[in-house]
């Protein structure tokens, strides 16, 4: 396949890409826009922007499309979400989980996502969701690379057999170890749970992705334990802290001290802008705090940070589409990332930085020799993407077209 008339990020002009055996064989500058042809071996980008696929580094696919079952979250808090999920979890079946998860993954595909990390609740003696998601991971592999996090929603020390279930999940094939220290019964349990997560990751050679400090409590400081352990064990690049909303609330002297450790640890961050602007601040009078972690400051300190959806219609978040550009739009507003250069750089939040978090960079990026994974956007520049949130017109993986989209056309009648 040849892709012609393409624009690329951070490279001026027009480009032609030759794909052989599913890889980018040659990426060459093209003198001028070439005329249309009907050759099926040629994908004509018509001067539009090619990007590596979007990355969705944090979603709960076992929970998607369950909002309202058995009832809707009225308070909009994390805690009501967990209580509702506890009820819905009792009715899970293998097929139920698979059907909803695959529906969400296909919807994500329509928005240009090809790499997904999903948390899966393993505080369930039957591990129904995990067993289903392990099958899903295999069944979808032609169109998406799916990583699974064994996520102990109700805690590791605060749930019966929490630790055994977590370990069993790793043996069954989960890719990452999860945790939820801020939800454990005590601070001490929280610290201990982080240490257990890290030890399991080392024992089974897995990645780590911890729900960390997702609470409007400036005293919730499990991130320092995660970072110190990651640093001590020398595994920072394999470790991700998700949400970290309490960091929004830390006093600035403490945050300054913490950032030094975060840089030393070399770990990754995932912020969930729509989710946490919705869930957080619910106990605040006016003014209400935003509850999204310090994305801009992490970027400014060269600490790897990416953004994610977290939910599509689940007990925590009643809407959602799976479109990473919606997250990006919310993120640059909430975190005030709207200086011109910052805005352009913010595209990293849904692309390269997510790939780094998922540790898939060897198969990610538009470069000669790498697998031909890319998306074509209805935009001519990165600025257009930020401003217009354009549709993804085409998604290609290993040189194979996965999805094509025809944009809606407006006909002016006046």
Closer residue to Fe ion (CB): 310 or 348: 310
Residues that bind ligand 17E (CB under 6 A): 60, 78, 153, 180, 211, 214, 275, 310-311, 314, 316
Per partner kind, with CB cut-offs from 5 to 8 A, the member of ligand 17E, Fe ion, none near residue 78 is ligand 17E
Per partner kind, with CB cut-offs from 5 to 8 A, the member of ligand 17E, Fe ion, none near residue 275 is ligand 17E
* Least distance CB 138 / ligand 17E (angstroms): 24
* Least distance CB 60 / ligand 17E (angstroms): 5
Per partner kind, with CB cut-offs from 5 to 8 A, the member of ligand 17E, Fe ion, none near residue 214 is ligand 17E
SS3 for the chain is CEEEEEEECCEEEEEEEEEECCEEEEEEEECCCCCCCCCCCEEECCCCEEECCEEEEEECCCCCCCCCCCCCCCCCCHHHHHHHHHHHHCCCCHHHHHHHHHHHHHHHHHCCEEEEEEEEECCCCCCHHHHHHHHHHHHCCCCCEEEEEEECCCCCCCCCCHHHHHHHHHHHCCCEEEECHHHCCCHHHHHHHHHHHHHHHHHHCCEEEEEECCCCCCCCCHHHHHHHHHHHHCCHHHEEEEECHHHHCCCHHHHHHHHHHHHHHCCEEEECHHHHHHHCCCCCCCCCCCCCCCHHHHHHCCCEEEECCECCCCCCCCCCCCCHHHHHHHHHHHCCCCCHHHHHHHHHHHCHHHHHHHCCHHHCCCCCCCECCEEEECCCCHHHHHHHCCCEEEEEECCEEEEECCCCCCCCCC
Closer residue to ligand 17E (CB): 14 or 113: 113
Closer residue to Fe ion (CB): 214 or 378: 214
Closer residue to ligand 17E (CB): 320 or 371: 320
Instruction: Clarify whether 184 is annotated catalytic.
Output: no
Contact 220, 191 (CB under 8 A): no
Burial level of 390, CB count in 10 A (0-12/13-18/19+)?
middle
* Least distance CB 41 / ligand 17E (angstroms): 43
**Of the residues 214, 229, 275, 327, which is catalytic?**
214
* Least distance CB 358 / ligand 17E (angstroms): 18
Closer residue to ligand 17E (CB): 43 or 148: 148
* Least distance CB 58 / ligand 17E (angstroms): 9
348 interacts with Fe ion by CB under 5 A: no
* Least distance CB 356 / ligand 17E (angstroms): 22
Closer residue to ligand 17E (CB): 220 or 373: 220
Per partner kind, with CB cut-offs from 5 to 8 A, the member of Fe ion, ligand 17E, none near residue 316 is ligand 17E
Per partner kind, with CB cut-offs from 5 to 8 A, the member of ligand 17E, Fe ion, none near residue 48 is none
Question: Binders of Fe ion among 299-318, rule CB under 5 A?
Answer: 310
Instruction: Give the residue at shortest CB distance from Fe ion.
Output: 310
Per partner kind, with CB cut-offs from 5 to 8 A, the member of Fe ion, ligand 17E, none near residue 128 is none
Instruction: Give the residue at shortest CB distance from ligand 17E.
Output: 316
Which residues participate in catalysis according to the annotation? 214
Which residues in this chain contact Fe ion in the complex, by CB under 5 A?
310
């Amino acid at each position: 396949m040849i892709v012609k008339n393409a624009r690329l990020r951070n490279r001026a002009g027009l480009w032609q890409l030759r794909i052989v055996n599913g890889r980018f064989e040659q990426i060459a500058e093209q003198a001028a826009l070439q005329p249309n042809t009907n050759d099926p071996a040629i994908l004509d980008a018509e001067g539009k922007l090619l990007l590596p696929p979007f990355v969705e580094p944090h979603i709960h696919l076992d929970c998607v499309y369950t909002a309202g079952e058995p009832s809707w979250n009225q308070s909009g808090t994390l805690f009501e979400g967990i209580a509702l999920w506890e009820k819905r979890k009792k009715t899970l079946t293998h097929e139920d989980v698979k059907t909803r998860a695959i529906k969400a993954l296909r919807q994500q595909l329509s928005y240009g996502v090809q790499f997904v990390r999903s948390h899966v609740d393993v505080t369930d003696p039957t591990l129904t969701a995990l067993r289903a998601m392990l099958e899903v991971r295999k069944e979808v592999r032609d169109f998406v690379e799916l990583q699974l996090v064994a996520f102990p929603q109700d805690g590791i020390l605060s749930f019966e057999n929490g630790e055994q279930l977590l370990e069993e999940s790793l043996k069954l094939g989960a890719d990452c170890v999860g945790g939820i220290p801020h939800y454990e019964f005590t601070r001490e349990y929280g610290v201990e749970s982080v240490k257990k997560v890290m030890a399991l990751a080392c024992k089974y050679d897995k990645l780590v992705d911890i729900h960390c400090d997702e609470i409007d409590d400036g005293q919730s400081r499990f991130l320092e334990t995660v970072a110190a352990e990651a640093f001590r064990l020398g595994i920072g690049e394999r470790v991700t802290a998700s949400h970290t909303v309490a960091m929004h609330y830390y006093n600035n002297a403490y945050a300054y001290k913490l950032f030094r450790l975060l840089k030393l640890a070399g770990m990754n961050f995932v912020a969930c802008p729509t989710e946490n602007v919705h869930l957080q601040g619910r106990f605040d009078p006016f003014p209400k705090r935003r509850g999204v972690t310090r994305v801009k400051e992490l970027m400014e300190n060269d600490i790897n940070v990416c953004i994610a959806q977290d939910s599509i219609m689940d007990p925590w978040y009643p809407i959602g589409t799976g479109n990473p550009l919606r997250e990006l739009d919310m993120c640059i507003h909430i975190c005030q990332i709207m200086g011109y250069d910052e805005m352009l750089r913010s595209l990293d939040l849904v692309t390269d930085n997510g790939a780094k978090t998922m540790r898939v960079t060897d198969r990610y990026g538009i470069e000669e020799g790498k697998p031909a994974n890319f998306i074509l956007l209805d935009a001519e520049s990165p600025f257009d993407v930020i401003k217009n949130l354009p549709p993804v017109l085409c998604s290609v993986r290993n040189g194979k077209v996965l999805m094509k989209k025809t944009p809606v056309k407006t006909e002016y009648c006046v």
